[in-house]
Structure 1
Amino acid sequence: MTTAPKQLHLAAHFPGVNNTTVWADPRSRSQIDFSSFEHLARTAERGLFDFFFLAEGLRLREHNGLIHDLDVAGHPEPLTVLAALAAVTDRLGLAATVNATFNEPYELARRLATLDHLSAGRAGWNVVASSDAFTGENFRRGGCLNRAGLPQALGSARTGGNPLTRAAESVATARGLWDSWTPDGTPRRFAHRGAHFRVEGEFTVPRPPQGHPVVIQAGDSPEGREFAASAADIIFARHGTLEAGRTFYADVKARLAKYGREPDELKIMPGVGFVLGDSDAEAQEKASEIRRQQISPQNAMLALEQVWGQDLSSYDPDGPLPESDPVPDAALVQGRVRTGDPLAVAARWRALSREKGLSIRQTVIEATGRRSFVGSPRTVAAEMAEYVATEAADGFVLVPHLTPGGLDDFVDEVVPLLQERGVFRTAYTGSTLRSHLGLAKPVWKG
């Protein structure tokens, strides 16, 4: 008996304010004009993707006390953009990052339920939590939450608690609000009293078509993995190799049982780049040029200063790495997520630089960036299928390097090969995001 190949899930990420987009390419267009969002979303729907994904930016990033002028492109509010895209797409899921630290669960639940109704069941929420006092300065509450659960203050305002516990309570509260309307359309009073929120009253929006909009969690820490296992439908992961993907996949899936969940109830979808060429060699050459464009000398120095935590403007990006150690608590670069211990990162970069004789810029190019599939369309299709078949991922969130046309070649050249392999749909069989993902509608908890 022949077993059908495991199906692969695909999503399209519209690049936010970052150095992913190659702005020097004449094909790069606005990140603000609605036509750009519409182009990428329509392309994703033409390719039968599961969903379209928008990130959230709550403050412009700064470098040495000044707004970072290499990536100031603007960042519209994502749920508003998705509501507009609901009118120009029919089946494509519509997901956005919305910060649980700086938004209240009642309003989040209301906005997401509205999007789910407007789109006939295609809404998704990427839940993130922030411990960033820099971003918190943009909010009237004026505080932030740190990872250790200790209160931090901005001015006289104080808020305490771990950001992930607040996010988990925010999700649970939103789900309770969505379930406060019966399936036949009867509202009921709702009351929640927890460590972070007290919500009491009546919800204004009937239960969403999906029951609950799809919940996505982005994070690789042990706490993030546990949160995803307990509460998420998708985990937006980041790992660089096939083996690392298998290790991550096995770890996260093994956590589900303690919450009474089956492995298929959580989809693991790492964010990846891709570069296509007529041959593997041509694609590799293109990929090298794209990385040089993404990591300009200025961006290389920004990445270096983010790790070292000090002004390194006297260094040559084509010269060697600093001999001094990083200053872990410095705030030279504001608004960028720091990943890993700076001392450990610096040690890895130095080892890589010594081993391969790399300059600062060359080291940053090689040491940073997401996993990318590089090769001919047939090579890329085969590698993606292998990741899914060998349980390194359930699918991928594609991050193109061109806005908004960067997905066109993938849809035209790789999707047909995935379909030929029998690992990707040839037509939408359902109308909701949950149906695309193979996720059941949550049972109403009256």
Structure 2
Amino acid sequence: MTKQIHLAAHFPGVNNTTVWSDPRSGSQIDFDSFRHLAQTAERGKFDFFFLAEGLRLREMKGRIHDLDVVGRPESLTVLAALSAVTTRLGLAATVNSTFNEPYEVARRLASLDHLSGGRAAWNVVTSWDAFTGENFRRGGYLAETDRYTRAAEFLQTARELWDSWAPDAVTAADGQFIRPGGISTFHHDGRHFTITGQFNVPRPPQGHPVIIQAGDSDEGRDFAASSADVIFSRHSKLEEGRAFYRDVKSRLPRYGRRPGDLKILPAVTYVLGDTQEDAAERAAEIRRAQVSPQTAISFLEGVWGRDLSAYDPDGPLPDLEPDLGPGVSEGRAQFRGDRGAVAAKWRALAEEKNLSIRELVIETAAPQTFVGTAASVAEEINTFVQTDAADGFIFVPHLTPGGLDDLVDQVVPLLQEKGVFRADYTGPTLRDHLGLTKELS
């Protein structure tokens, strides 16, 4: 059976995705940037528009990382504003479960779902570093296993709050009268949360907002299989995608779920050209723009854990071995793993291909997914989905705010001609777009 492709748009943020030097690059804060990208996605009949979250300005060598985005508006506030200038596009916010409370998050998401007519989604994430925790009263951070148990209980508690209102609790069209018995007192007594009371927002139009999860660890995959509607994957290569797809989908039956209950959407990029050669040239230019000489040294410092500012980014890797102590980067997840293993892998790759520092970082930290003509990219997207490497994709453009224009104008019509992507929305809610059932208590 031919599968229908799901598409979503990510507003680019931190790391080296955005090419700030491009004269077409716009503001990261001005509402018009969010509006343009969201309305372009809606014009392309995308399922949803996705915003990441940043709870602290990241640092490098004890100073604010000046190659990063300085200032990221709070996601749910932006999406509430976008609900007034879009009509069908889903609106997905990343909201942290480590440094928030279930009642407040459930209330804000239910409000967004009402304001948008059933288009809200929540990307449930955890926080892994004490550096971010310093911004919050509780401080510190939880062990990885505790982060997921807290996240699971956080989500369970939010669902209990949404379910405390019966679907027909409000009997008047203007929401003025509450049917007797339409609201239940909630009581949750668990390891992480003990709360009792009455929820003050009616049940969301979708029952529950769509739940997104982005973890790739074994615990993260289980959490997605048990609780999520969408998993935001990093596996954008065909064979890796198929292996991830098989693994996560195979976990669903143990939670009483079917394959269609969870959509797997890798984060991807694209570059179009009039010919394959033209696209490849443009892709190479974009990768060099994404990895400036300063960015290259910054990435190497993050792995090596040392100040390498004296090294030539167009020269060879330093002879120094990495310092595997605390490191020089704060708040950057890509440097939290086994840096010694990464350094060894990078050194082997640099020797094999005779790469300079900058060329190495371009090779490893600026990957591109779909590069080609509109026709070849459309064919490749379809192949991924039809061969079970993904259910669709979340596109992360390299320009703000016009980075999706070419995709929507040139590639989407070809997918529609193939009959694998909708010509128009068939329902008003995000659950309709994703082919998910409405959540009922």
Q: What TM-score range do you get, normalising by the shorter chain?
A: over 0.9
Q: What pairs up with 1:357-372 in 2 under 5 angstroms?
A: 357-372=354-369
Shift of 1:213: 0.2
> How far does residue 79 in structure 1 lie from its aligned partner after superposition?
0.1
The alignment status of 1:427 with 2:431, answered yes or no, reads: no
The DSSP-based 3-state class of the residue aligned with 2:385 is helix
CA distance in 2, matches of 1:92, 1:218: 21
Specify the alignment match of 1:418 in structure 2: 415
1:370 Cα offset (Å): 4.6
2:258 to 262, 282, 289: 262
Question: Percent same amino acid among aligned pairs?
Answer: 68
Alpha-carbon separation, structure 1, partners of 2:440 and 2:432: 15
Partner of 2:176: none
Match of 2:166 among 157, 182, 190: 182
Distance 1:328-1:257 versus aligned 2 partners, 3 A rule: farther
After the TM superposition, which segments of 4 or more aligned residues of structure 1 sit over 3 Å from their partners? Answer: none
Q: Distance in 2 between matches of 1:340 and 1:383?
A: 32
Q: Matches of 1:328 and 1:200 in 2, distance apart?
A: 46
Bigger drift between 83-92 and 343-352 goes to 343-352
> Gapped runs of 5+ residues in structure 2?
170-181
Identify which range, 331-340 or 429-438, moves more after superposition.
Answer: 331-340
Aligned to 2:129: 132
Confirm or deny: 8 A CA contact 2:291 2:366 kept in the other structure: no
Within the candidate set 156, 167, 171, 1:172 is matched to 156
In 2, the alpha carbon distance for the partners of 1:242 and 1:40 equals 27
Q: How does 1:261-340 map to 2 (within 5 A)?
A: 261-337=257-333, 338=335, 340=337
Cα deviation per residue 1:230-273 (whole Å; 9 max; x = unaligned)?
11100000024200000000000001111110011000000001
Q: Paired residue for 2:225?
A: 229
Corresponding residue pairs, total: 428
Kindly report which structure 2 residues correspond to 1:213-224, keeping only aligned pairs within 5 A, or say none.
Answer: 213-224=209-220
Q: 2:239 aligns with which of 236, 240, 243?
A: 243
* C-alpha separation in 2, matches of 1:426 and 1:240: 25
User: Equivalent residues in 2 for 1:2-401 (5 A)?
Assistant: 3=1, 5-147=2-144, 162-185=146-169, 186-337=182-333, 338=335, 340-401=337-398
Q: CA deviation at 1:347?
A: 1.8
Give 1:270's aligned amino acid: P
CA shift at 1:16, angstroms? 1.4
Over aligned residues, Cα RMSD in angstroms?
1.1
- DSSP 3-state at the match of 1:380: helix
Range moving further from structure 2, 95-104 or 341-350: 341-350
8 Å CA contact 2:57–2:70 kept in 1: the answer is: no
Q: Structure 1: how far apart are the matches of 2:239 and 2:321?
A: 31
Letter in 1 for 2:98: T
Distance 2:294 2:143 in 1: 30
Taking a change above 3 Å as real, the CA distance of residues 257 and 414 of structure 1, as seen in their structure-2 partners, is: same
8 Å CA contact retained: 1:116, 1:210? yes
- Residue 91 of structure 1 and its aligned partner are, at CA, apart by 0.2
Structure 1 distance, partners of 2:322, 2:251, is: 35
- Could you tell me the TM-score, scaled by structure 2's length? 0.95
1:346 Cα offset (Å): 1.3
CA shift in 2, pair 1:100/1:415, >3 Å: same
Q: Give the deviation of 1:339 after TM superposition.
A: 5.5
